[in-house]
Amino acid sequence: MKERLRLARENQERLLNSSGGRSLSSRKDRLKRLKGVVSSREGEILDALQKDLGKSPTEGYLTEISVLYQEIDLFLSRLDGWSRPRRVSTPLTLWPAKSRIVPEPYGRVLIIAPWNYPFQLLFSPLVGALGAGNTAVLKPSESAPATAELAASLVREAFPEGEVILFNGDASITETLLEEPWNYIFFTGSPRVGRLVMSAAAKHLTPLTLELGGKSPAVVDRDADLETAAKRIAWGKFLNAGQTCVAPDYLYVHEEVAINLVKRIESWLLRFYGKIPAESPDYGRIVNLYHFKRLTNLLEGTVPVLGGAPLEERLYIPPTVITGIGWEHPLMEEEIFGPILPVLTFSELDSALEEIKRRPPPLAFYLFTRDRRKAEKALERLPFGGGCVNDTILHLANSNMPFGGVGSSGLGSYHGESSFRTFSHYKSILIGSSLLDNPFRYPPYSSSKLRWLKRYFSPR
């Protein structure tokens, strides 16, 4: 591997040092090639997602392929403007100089992807990296082997090794990659591994983005449209069998409507997946035995109001709803990342928001209310990565908005122009003139120069 990595580094550095390799036309060509290869092999991608996670073709297309197409199309339509050097005003004291900001690629980028959306979360950051003019090395998750193997084939078909290289393998491969000096690292995964990635990056002072997770609440006040809330929470929570970083991790509902809301969630789950979700082609599976056992351990000692028996041989855990627990319960200590929805109740929205605020900032926050003033107050009061009012998940589907966490839920953001900015260094340039020169900056310094400076720069 190290020899291949050395050759890859040489090839990528050669490409980055060539003017053609960084041109706008070459960037667009790479994005078009990626889109073309994905389009020609959609069926294989959907099959791989089904093998790894039990995703139905519709869910796979909706949450993985269509998101990538949207990102590529936005880059192709806006890249000229995003890449253009931008003139900025210059203070009178620097006149007649001119100032501008020029975006340029960082260089060699490492992208480490997770297993829950193994296609989208590998290739969507790649769009930003390539669009900004970088080369990339990809490391897909070994926990989604079918998608990882197919991704390697897609990369070989779409790109020569100097542009994009993919390394498959276990955690030892990731460790080897992190020993390399990179110009930028983009990681999506758990906070625990994110700390390791950040520590490795610090050794080389490498800038990075961390897309992590956390316990994202869905808060339902008593004035909410309960039918809409139930439908959208049920969809957002149990999409991909709950293995979504922005899934509602727990439900925090006003005590007056809690029973009614849970009944409506049950009704919607029946419509979505039928009486036996294990037989539904639209309900996914847990990615592997380790995570299956982790989730079933969390269920020990609980009495679900909705659910059923997990099936280890099929890595199946039914949509499960649990009530009657408090903040001290193990389900509330870590991100669940599975099809288990704990339900807590509150009596006043203000006290509920304070309870949430005492905990680490979540990656997502969802509030259901018909009162716009309540919504604005909550959004202003709580720190969180992003979220929705009267919906779940969909904020990340808009490429015109940045997606990312805050605090322990992440560092940095991407999607659309934010991706371009994430993978670009903004170079500040002042172009001086030889026609005039301001004498005040040069020694010898005098009291008259000091008086002039104080007069010009003193607070007004």
What are the residue boundaries of the structural domains of the chain, listed by start?
Answer: 2-212+411-425, 217-398
Quick one: which H or E segment has residue 210? strand 208-211
- pLDDT of the residue at 220: 98
The two three-digit tokens of residue 338, written as one number: 């599975």
24-40 and 66-83 are packed helices; what angle lies between their axes, rounded to 10 degrees? 170
Report the CATH superfamily, name and number, of domain 2-212+411-425. Aldehyde Dehydrogenase; Chain A, domain 1 (3.40.605.10)
By annotation, the residues acting in catalysis are: 211, 245
Whether the CB-CB separation of 344 and 326 falls below 8 Å is answered with yes
Phi-psi bin for 416: left (phi > 0), alpha (psi -120 to 50), beta?
Answer: left
- In the predicted model, what is the mean pLDDT of the chain? 95
Q: Which residues of the chain have pLDDT under 70?
A: none
The pLDDT of residue 416: 97
Let me know: does 138 contact 151? Beta carbons within 8 Å.
yes
Per-residue model confidence (pLDDT) at position 309: 93
The predicted structure's pLDDT at residue 455: 84
**Is domain 217-398 in CATH 3.40.309.10, yes or no?**
yes
Q: pLDDT tens digits, residue range 33-53?
A: 999 999 999 999 999 999 999
Evaluate if pTM is beyond 0.85: yes
Cβ-proximal residues to 134 (8 Å cutoff; 6+ apart), any chain: 16, 105, 106, 107, 108, 109, 183, 184, 423
Q: How far apart are CA 364 and CA 335, in angstroms?
A: 12
Whether the CB-CB separation of 38 and 127 falls below 8 Å is answered with no
Q: Which pLDDT belongs to residue 440? A: 81
In angstroms, the CA 405 to CA 187 distance is 12
Residue 272: its pLDDT value, please?
98
244 within 8 A of 116, measured Cβ to Cβ: yes
What pLDDT is attached to residue 63?
A: 97
For the stretch 424-455, pLDDT in tens is: 999 999 999 888 888 888 899 999 888 888 88
Q: What is the pLDDT of residue 49?
A: 98
